[in-house]
Amino acid sequence: MISANKPNSNQNSNSSPQLQAKRLFSLSDFDFHLPPELIAQHPANERSSSRLLDGSEPEPIDRIFKSLPELMQACDLLVFNDTQVVKARLFGEKSTGGKVELLIERVLPEHRVVAHMKVSKKPPIGAKLHMGIDAKHGAKGFEATLLGRWPDDKGALFCFQLSDEPHALMAQYGHVPLPPYIERPYDGSASDADIAEDEARYQTVFASKPGAVAAPTAALHFDEALLQQLKERGVNTASVTLHVGAGTFQPVKSENIAEHTMHSEWYDIPESTQRALHDCRARGGKVWAVGTTSVRTLESWAQSGQAQGDTQIFITPGFEFQWVDCLITNFHLPKSTLMMLVSALAGYEHVMRLYAHAISKQYRFFSYGDAMLLKRA
């Protein structure tokens, strides 16, 4: 087994986490005003033509994403999340005719799934839902039998038995589960042009492990040409898998952030990536996490020693990072757990200054928006 801890780690050499831990942060500390027109509704014309706010220096530097190779060294390692977004949003109706919407969160053995259910009145256990009904298909496609709540009778999710293989049914009847801030009709009536764009662009070019209901959006900026440039520069790459769940959009409701319970997501770090991480450290390189999901995966491994499993890691200011040196990330929602994560990495005051700069320079925000580069404080 390869060690989950980085070699020659000296956490006391970096005083920033200790300094941040002395401050008691509240939810309102991570709030900011975002003009609605800065929320990107469509991706940039080309993936790597997005803007890149370089926050690795004391003062922000405005760049274009395709300039990334110039900022990296041959000894560095880029860690991507290779999860693949599935068409997890499904529309249907109850036997009474009432409308129902499922958002499949996880596929289990024997054609069972775990899902969020949006319905006016919850059907009883054993009820059969007729799914695959929307403006696009207009017919009853398959059945989903409600087995109960998940993971227990107090769970917020529901377990269903599907009438056929879940991934095949999602591919045939499902819709790309776009975040709520991207304005599309959610009844299946979006235009063909929008559907084609979202199916192509709300997915990374290297997605290979089906299971996510939200994209690892920082990786959306990479295209084949940019990956080739990085390779020619000698930059090493490796992959982890974290199947992003709908809980990533779950709001923090308590002003005391310590009372927030993080959602659970499944991750995996293959042995080849574990070895690449240690090799990077041995040659003096920096570990660049592409997206907050890669951060959560690497630091979950460091905390638990488990290379595969479920994680509920909650990274807030004061957290002591073991693996991540640099982070490529998109701009996040106000008062979100991801704002807390980036503040933990790069320093709260620095991140808030960067966000103010991004708003003043009209960067595009959220999933289809621009990117930011941060380094560990």
pLDDT digits (tens, 9 = 90+) for 87-98: 999 999 999 999
Q: Is the pTM of this model over 0.75?
A: yes
Q: What is the mean pLDDT of residues 355-360?
A: 98
In the chain, % of residues over pLDDT 90: 83
Residue-level pLDDT at 278: 98
Residue-level pLDDT at 248: 81
- Report how far residue 194's alpha carbon sits from residue 222's, in angstroms, rounded to the nearest whole number: 21
Residue-level pLDDT at 103: 95
> DSSP letters along 259-326, please?
GPPPPPEEEE--HHHHHHHHHHHHTTPPEEEESHHHHHHHHHHHHH--SEEEE-----TT---SS-SE
Q: Cβ–Cβ contacts within 10 Å for residue 370, how many? A: 24
Tell the residue number behind the tokens 């994680």, with chain if given: 311
Q: What is the mean pLDDT of residues 119-132?
A: 95
Residue-level pLDDT at 90: 93
Q: Which residues contact 40 (CB under 8 A, 6 or more apart)?
A: 364, 365, 366, 367, 368, 369, 370
Residue-level pLDDT at 11: 42
Average pLDDT, the chain: 93
Q: Which domains does the chain have, with CATH numbers?
A: 11-85+200-375 (3.40.1780.10), 89-174 (2.40.10)
The answer to whether residue 16 scores a pLDDT higher than 60 is: no
pLDDT in tens, 170-221: 999 999 999 989 998 866 677 889 999 999 999 999 999 999 999 999 999 9
- pLDDT band of residue 140 (cuts 50, 70, 90) is low
The answer to whether residue 17 scores a pLDDT higher than 90 is: no
Q: Sign of the CA dihedral 323, 325, 328, 333?
A: positive
Tell the residue number behind the tokens 């087995």, with chain if given: 147
Q: Decide if 370 contacts 364 (C-beta within 8 A).
A: yes
Query: 270 in the Ramachandran plot: left (φ > 0), alpha (ψ -120 to 50) or beta?
Result: beta
Q: Decide if 99 contacts 120 (C-beta within 8 A).
A: yes
- pLDDT band of residue 5 (cuts 50, 70, 90) is confident
Residue-level pLDDT at 297: 98
Residue scoring higher pLDDT (136 or 244)? 244
Q: Cβ–Cβ contacts within 10 Å for residue 359, how many? A: 16
Burial class (CB within 10 angstroms; exposed 0-12, middle 13-18, buried 19+) of 88: buried
Please name the amino acid found at residue 244.
V
The answer to whether residue 138 scores a pLDDT higher than 80 is: no
pLDDT in tens, 278-313: 999 999 999 999 999 999 999 999 999 999 999 999
Q: What is the mean pLDDT of residues 346-355?
A: 98
Burial class (CB within 10 angstroms; exposed 0-12, middle 13-18, buried 19+) of 189: exposed
Please name the amino acid found at residue 16.
S
- pLDDT band of residue 12 (cuts 50, 70, 90) is very low
Nearest Cα residue to 217 out of 179, 270, 261, 167: 179
Q: What is the mean pLDDT of residues 366-374?
A: 98
Residue-level pLDDT at 13: 38
pLDDT in tens, 28-57: 999 999 999 999 999 999 999 999 999 999
